[in-house]
Amino acid sequence: MAGDFQPTIVGFLCNWCSYAGADLAGVSRMKMPATMVAIRVMCSSRVDPLFVLKAFLNGADGILVAGCHPGDCHYQTGNYYTRRRFALTQRVFNELGLETNRVRLSWVSASEGGRFQEVVTGFSETIVKAGPSPARTEVFL
């Protein structure tokens, strides 16, 4: 099963660090699973927890939120709020018995093409193990 399952991961990447990191990974021709489709935001703090929920209910097998490392936010403190909101989101998922391993927060800087590759590869493996999201074909949402 896991073999032929090609997950779809929605990745919210901040413009200044993680998106640049993703570009760098590409420029450096780093290969990674074609599972993650990026949505560019200026700052990870734009990622409303409802976006994550929406992506999950719409059938995303995984949702990644990625931003500058704490302390390096291009907008000074945005990613600290990102972290709080993500913590809230994941905790709510956990309390409702929704699979918390389908949502992930990672810090990737503009110079960390390699790290971006690791994050995408690692997360993809997790998701492949987890299998397709039950929300994808659910009718009664």
Window 93 to 122, contacts with other proteins (CB under 8 A): 94-98, 104-107
**Closest CB to other proteins among residues 1, 139:** 139
Minimum separation from the CB atom of position 97 to other proteins (A) = 4
Beta-bridge partners for 132: none
The answer to whether residue 23 forms part of the interface with other proteins (CB under 8 A) is yes
Minimum separation from the CB atom of position 121 to other proteins (A) = 11
Q: CB-hemisphere CA count at 13 Å for 5? A: 15
Q: Which residue has the tokens 């600290």?
A: 80
Given its phi and psi angles, is residue 71 left (phi above 0), alpha (psi -120 to 50 degrees) or beta? left
Closest alpha carbon to 10 in 30, 44, 38 = 38
Q: CB-hemisphere CA count at 13 Å for 33? A: 20
Minimum separation from the CB atom of position 119 to other proteins (A) = 8
> Contacting other proteins (CB under 8 A), which of 3, 18, 62, 88?
88
The answer to whether residue 140 forms part of the interface with other proteins (CB under 8 A) is yes
**Closest CB to other proteins among residues 32, 130:** 32
Alpha helices by DSSP H, 18-132 = 18-27, 49-57, 78-95, 113-130
- Near other proteins in 38-77, by CB under 8 A: 38-43, 45-51, 53-55, 57-60, 70-71, 74-77
How many chain residues are in contact with other proteins, going by CB under 8 A?
73
